[in-house]
Amino acid sequence: MAFRTILYDVRDGIAEIRLNRPHRLNAVVQELYSELDEALNLAETNRDARVVLLTGEGRAFSVGADLKEHKAGRTAFDRREYLRGEQVVCRRLMLLRKPVVAAVNGFALGAGAEMAIASDFVIMAKSAKLGFPEIGIGSFLGGGITYLLPRLVGLAKARELVFLGERIDGDEAVRIGLACRSYPDEGFLDQARAFALELAGKAPFSMQLAKEQLNLAAERTLDGALVAELEGMMFCSTTKDWQEGVDAFADKRPPVFRGE
């Protein structure tokens, strides 16, 4: 279907979503949040899409809120609906039943950084810059970042990133545990797609369960985790994909999972 602020395509098991306001470095407006939410719904219900790859068209992932748009004299209700849009999208990214890979190809600032971090995997180009400028402009964080960031990098580092608003590159993001991979700028999206393609070859039900349980890990007791794992193992053993995995191992061949 046609979108105005994003590009959406499904190929080789990857639902690729590109933020598509390159003339504004993919700065976010309310329509973008609405269309992104719609695209995530499409990806989740499409059996051919095993993984979501989120990136930006042009020179940036997203520089965050379109401040020029904010000067347009909107009502308090309009402002709240816009801000709620980010919360909805980031929650969808975190709870989507399929893994989400954020390929940060340039600036990822404010809401852009928050959408990336709400994804399951952050992959960055070496020269990409990620940061949280909100405190420095009298605004505040969104997208669940006060929940996610301390869990990823620790409370002390989270304070430093948020209070100072310093921008970090791909290698530094990997070093502190915020990103999982950093690739050279040249051929970056090809590397990101290769990473997503590898994920797309894994068992869909197993990935869905792993995402759910890992996201809940910090809130569960050991006994709660053990029970959830047992149920997960039992469920997977009833699927055709489980039998395919066993057969492929015995036959010494790569498995072909069908999400059945």
- Give the residue among 219, 183, 181, 177 at the shortest CA–CA distance from 199: 181
Catalytic option among 16, 35, 86, 114? 114
User: Catalytic residue among 31, 86, 134, 229, which?
Assistant: 134
Measure the CA dihedral 3/141/161/178, to 10°.
Answer: -50
Q: Cα(122)–Cα(105) distance, rounded to whole angstroms?
A: 11
Active site residue 114: yes
Q: Which residues are catalytic?
A: 114, 134
